[in-house]
Structure 1
């Protein structure tokens, strides 16, 4: 969970202490005056760490377990085992049920036998392995582009590519709820950054109209399927804008691959768009593709440029052979079995419909792989997650400051493997527990409420 910093962090500490009946935080410590006085630089003295300690104390007082970093006993799919107990799992990105698929596991094992567990250096210096080329050819085919390049981290893919392609003379126009990795890449670039209200195409147009002429390069960046809200952008409208204002368009398909389109190829397939109309496709290997890492797909010139200039690729170890082989095999299974994408979409729509029928707030979700249930209070959201765990469901909350306090929510990640009974039961359980939590708001609700 992201934490507030500096003054915001201290204010949160004060507010929590006040709710607990404690005195306000002591004034900020003076800066260290001598080399011997190092307490100022002790991490345990930071306000951010104070928040963590207080949250843990509150959990102990109220007998609410920590909903984060739950320890799973083995592979987590539509069900998982936590503490030896089988739990129905709605907190997995394994959207098409390919993690542990026999063909995927066999490919990873064969790659270990041939290449080992690591390539032991960057691909630029240690040389290529066929397993990398096979993966990138499969990613380009999946994306409908000339070429692709695979990085060892999805987060680092966005940071490195955006931070490398743009600079202080450039402009980045992004959706306000864009993923942290994109925001960090934009900050690294030093470019002028404009965040537009979520999904507001008019705001994108206005930002470009008023600012584009003053900058060398411009990048429009959105997600193909928003991982917090489960909605999608107007891709055709964004393509018109990028043409009108001579900008690059980048689409992050982390949650969209496997989840959108008749065969799971993403938002371009979903909306009937030629994928070559988008300049930069980004995706991850860690969700539908049952591996770990990230990739960029696009024109041959773009990929060639990144192979020789992107710091996150040039100066990082190459993707581990079993990971690359697993992702390639996952793409092949996905292509052979389009019924998996059909089942996922059926399940997503079923959960969305059930939630709406029970009067739950699902926000903007279209009913694909991500459906939020918005509670609007962080403490109550954490309590609801705990109640669900007690009743056999794992659904991790998204709370302040990761989202605005009035947008605190449970995020349901649906897979092709969930049954209709599991979907009905979890939504019915939410509908039963939430009113009781709201009627009997506990100290946790008071602590984080505004």
Structure 2
């Protein structure tokens, strides 16, 4: 549907563009250099010499694959070192890495709870959380985004009928760039005897002075959270996911979680890249400070130009709301022609009134670049809002295809 609409509006397909090198603050696409705002390379660690060298050295020592699941093929020291470092971040007893971030949520949520249990998750939760909840067979309730009063009320209604209850939220929401009230969430969970799982995919390296995520940002004891989940594909320059928690939890998952037991172990170069990224994050906190300063600057500048940045707190993710899928798609197309690469988020991925351009900021972006792009976005959207659209003609053309 989106492709047909793009054809009807004369807009080039913005998806699956081929980047010809490392995608940082700038990226080369079809031989042209673009200001790039579609990468999760938040701290600019992907492509850094230390991270790349760590991956190359791991290949020389272990090869490119462990060639089977870890329960079958055995451990590699690089796995254990990475998991120890992740556990230290969250001050937990242990951690476990898996080969897919999406599958981490699906397999862990689907495995930890089941029929007779209750899962309550934020309405804007990532697809992987929803799929895990569906797989589990537990009763599933979505509460309005970040509405702790409603979460409290819904738990009060449903908790007594369930054996166990699990609340799942994200530490930093990738569509809106906002965060939950973690302290309030903990209070609610304890009152209703519910466990808490926090998805840190976009939090690690982004929130907190040390980049340790939502608990550091919120000044909350990480031990209050039962299950920490995150991904290796953003700040940590690799791919895959992780779970951090009690030794009993991790040992249970290590021997029984289908997505771990029946999947190949994390490739050694990926584990090495993630470990080196964690070490660089600790050694170079100025990267985190620069990311946070860049994000705050872009948010402030965008708002100064009259742009609607929605709920964003200005920490790596800044949406620019257009309220129209047509405006968002046209704006992304026009900006690409001006050398700015940003993705439109349109219906049905979001409600029509929630259509937006979504900017991912990194420590590599420059102040001049951020100011210039914010100004260009404001000018482009202003021009497009006055451009007429014959909706009847568009609907007829879509129907004819």
Common fold: TM-score over 0.5: yes
Residues 66 and 266 of structure 1: CA distance in aligned 2, closer, same or farther (over 3 Å): same
| 1:29-58 deviation line (CA, Å, top 9, x unaligned) | xxxxxxxxxxxxxxxxxxxxxx3xxx4344
Q: Which residue of 1 aligns with 2:351?
A: 404
Q: Distance in 2 between matches of 1:295 and 1:56?
A: 35
Q: Does 1:155 align with 2:93?
A: no
Q: Distance in 1 between matches of 2:380 and 2:185?
A: 41
Q: Which residue of 1 aligns with 2:192?
A: 245
Deviation at 1:70, TM superposition (A): 1.1
* Deviating 4+ runs (over 2 angstroms): 55-63, 441-448
Deviation at 1:88, TM superposition (A): 0.6
Q: Which residue of 1 aligns with 2:51?
A: 104
How many aligned residue pairs are there?
Answer: 395
The answer as to whether partners of 1:345 and 1:368 remain within 8 angstroms in 2 is yes
Q: Which residue of 2 aligns with 1:311?
A: 258
Q: Does 1:133 align with 2:133?
A: no
Q: Distance in 1 between matches of 2:21 and 2:277?
A: 20
Q: Distance in 2 between matches of 1:154 and 1:441?
A: 42
Counterpart of 2:127 (choices 170, 180, 190) is 180
Q: Which residue of 2 aligns with 1:211?
A: 158
Deviation at 1:445, TM superposition (A): 10
- Larger-gyration structure (1/2): 1
Counterpart of 1:297 (choices 239, 244, 260) is 244
Deviation at 1:447, TM superposition (A): 4.3
Q: Distance in 2 between matches of 1:57 and 1:244?
A: 50
Q: Does 1:288 align with 2:235?
A: yes
The answer as to whether partners of 2:8 and 2:394 remain within 8 angstroms in 1 is no
Deviation at 1:67, TM superposition (A): 1.0
Q: Distance in 2 between matches of 1:356 and 1:445?
A: 34
The answer as to whether partners of 1:374 and 1:407 remain within 8 angstroms in 2 is yes
Alpha-carbon RMSD:
1.3
Q: Distance in 2 between matches of 1:432 and 1:444?
A: 24
Q: Does 1:384 align with 2:331?
A: yes
Q: Which residue of 2 aligns with 1:26?
A: none
Specify which structure has the bigger relative contact order, considering alpha-carbon pairs within 8 angstroms and separated by 6 or more residues.
2
TM-score, normalisation: structure 2? 0.97
Q: Which residue of 1 aligns with 2:169?
A: 222
Q: Distance in 1 between matches of 2:27 and 2:320?
A: 21
Q: Distance in 1 between matches of 2:391 and 2:278?
A: 44
The gaps in structure 2 that reach 5 residues or longer are 396-401
Q: Distance in 1 between matches of 2:379 and 2:314?
A: 22
Residues 101 and 65 of structure 1: CA distance in aligned 2, closer, same or farther (over 3 Å): same
Q: Which residue of 1 aligns with 2:221?
A: 274
The answer as to whether partners of 2:21 and 2:27 remain within 8 angstroms in 1 is yes
